[in-house]
Structure 1
Amino acid sequence: MKLGIMQPYFVPYIGYWQLMNAVDEYVIYDDVNFIKGGWINRNRILVNDQPKYFNVPMLGASSMKHINEVGVNNDPKLIRKNLDQLMRAYSKAPYYDKVFPLMEKILTSEKENLAQYNAESFRLINKYLGITTKLIVSSTLEKDCTLKGQDKVLEICKLLGATEYYNAIGGQELYSFADFRQQGVKLSFLKTEPITYDQFGGEFQPNLSIVDVMMFNSVDTVREMLGRYQLVCK
């Protein structure tokens, strides 16, 4: 069984979805500390041909809290502000009529914490894109929470019976091929190949949110993009 484990990022770039799509089961790592200035509560969309941050309004955000302890501010005015930002940015995009209602469901989900909010967005976007990977929430697993880093990941692999573990290419320095092999788990790193598409005819801005990808591409095209990666393994 192929397993992936990642923190729940907010509408992340396509490489995140490639990893989720490539594995059989995917653990939403919600019981680790929230990282300020990261991708858990924000991503980037295209505004006037330039990347601009698109944020989840939060309550009580702190690096001392777990992701599932950070609240979401569901003030209707803030939700409307985000929807208006998307409308202004993408109303002329070719797949706006399909993707805007999807984003409206995500932004109005009324989930109370950031982990639930992002997990719900995964379920909705996966349904739209036809991704069938089983999602598991980390905090529901009975594991040794005193473990850290690689040791905690290996325990989750053991609990779920994983024979292969996929991680994003950026985590190469965090994990040891030998240590995983010793535990009977094949370690692989997913490296996204260059992906480009037309964005209103301007200079291409890479690695924006999956929202941008979906606004400019059909589901079939996005699904083809999900396979554009290489696996680095030993």
Structure 2
Amino acid sequence: MIVTIHQPNLFPWLGYFDKMMQADAFILLDHVPFTKGGFQNRVQLKGANGPQWLTVPVATKGKLGQPTSDVECKDTLPWKKDHLKTIDANYRGTPNFNEIYPCLEYLYQNTNSAKLVDFTEPGIKWMREAMGIQTPMMKASELEASGSGSELLCQLVRSVGGTVYLSGPSGKDYLDERHFDEYGIRVDYHRFDMFPYPQRYGAFAGGLSGLDYLFHVKKPLERRITA
């Protein structure tokens, strides 16, 4: 049983969903420290002037090291309205705009956003379904696991009956594979080769939110390369 684990990012890129597709279970790592400047609360879209950031403002002052699950959105700012305007401006006229935009509009208008994960988790679930991915999702905070680093990952994989941990490629730099051996868990490393698809505004840009793919293509995401 293959298990993969990742933080609950904002409208993630295609590599995130490809890794999810390769696994039998996907765990949202929602209780580790929030990473400021990462992709948990921001992602890039493509506009007429190239890639641009879409960011959910969050309260971080004086809260260094707070768990991701505790990060609060700054709902005093009109970020939801601003996001929808940006998405509309960038993607109106794309092949799937009339299907995708109303779903996003509903998500923004009807999803609780007191905390960041209250918004990002439903977004990931919706994107997963739109891409035809059926891998079950669960939250680390609801599983029986403790510790940090490789120990935490081993316990999470074991808690759902996993025998293989599918890591991102950067895991080669920090995972202690001997620790996984002690748990009887094999470590595989995911590889995703970004592929071009029809896209507006000049040369193809990779690494964008999967929303860009959904607006332009919206066909089930095809299985790519794992190595």
TM more than 0.5: yes
* Correspondence for 1:111: 113
The SS at the match of 1:44 is strand
Aligned 8 A contact 2:73 2:114 in 1: yes
Cα offset, 1:60, TM superposition: 4.6
Amino acid aligned to 2:192: T
Alpha-carbon distance between aligned partners in 2 of 1:74 and 1:132, rounded to the nearest angstrom: 32
* Correspondence for 2:66: 65
- Counting only pairs closer than 5 Å after superposition, residues 45-194 of structure 1 correspond to structure 2 as 45-60=45-60, 62-74=63-75, 77-108=78-109, 109-144=111-146, 147-194=147-194
User: Which ranges of 4 or more aligned residues in structure 1 deviate by more than 6 Å?
Assistant: none
Amino acid aligned to 1:10: L
- Alignment RMSD (CA, Å): 1.8
Cα offset, 1:29, TM superposition: 0.6
Amino acid aligned to 2:20: M
Cα offset, 1:43, TM superposition: 0.2
| Unaligned ranges ≥5, structure 1 | none
Alpha-carbon distance between aligned partners in 1 of 2:75 and 2:104, rounded to the nearest angstrom: 15
Alpha-carbon distance between aligned partners in 1 of 2:122 and 2:72, rounded to the nearest angstrom: 14
Cα offset, 1:116, TM superposition: 2.4
The SS at the match of 2:191 is strand
Cα offset, 1:107, TM superposition: 2.3
Amino acid aligned to 1:229: I
* Correspondence for 1:228: 224
May I ask how many residue pairs the two structures share in their alignment?
Answer: 225
Cα offset, 1:57, TM superposition: 2.9
Aligned 8 A contact 2:12 2:124 in 1: no
Alpha-carbon distance between aligned partners in 2 of 1:72 and 1:229, rounded to the nearest angstrom: 36
> Residue by residue, what CA displacement relative to the aligned partner does 1:40-95 show, whole Å, maximum 9, x if unpaired?
00000001141100011324564321111111234583311110000001102111
Alpha-carbon distance between aligned partners in 2 of 1:44 and 1:157, rounded to the nearest angstrom: 30
| Unaligned ranges ≥5, structure 2 | none
Amino acid aligned to 2:36: K
> Residue by residue, what CA displacement relative to the aligned partner does 1:104-146 show, whole Å, maximum 9, x if unpaired?
23323123211222111112112222211111111112322xx
Aligned 8 A contact 1:49 1:203 in 2: no
Alpha-carbon distance between aligned partners in 1 of 2:199 and 2:145, rounded to the nearest angstrom: 44
The SS at the match of 1:179 is helix
Cα offset, 1:201, TM superposition: 5.5
Cα offset, 1:164, TM superposition: 0.8
Alpha-carbon distance between aligned partners in 1 of 2:57 and 2:162, rounded to the nearest angstrom: 35
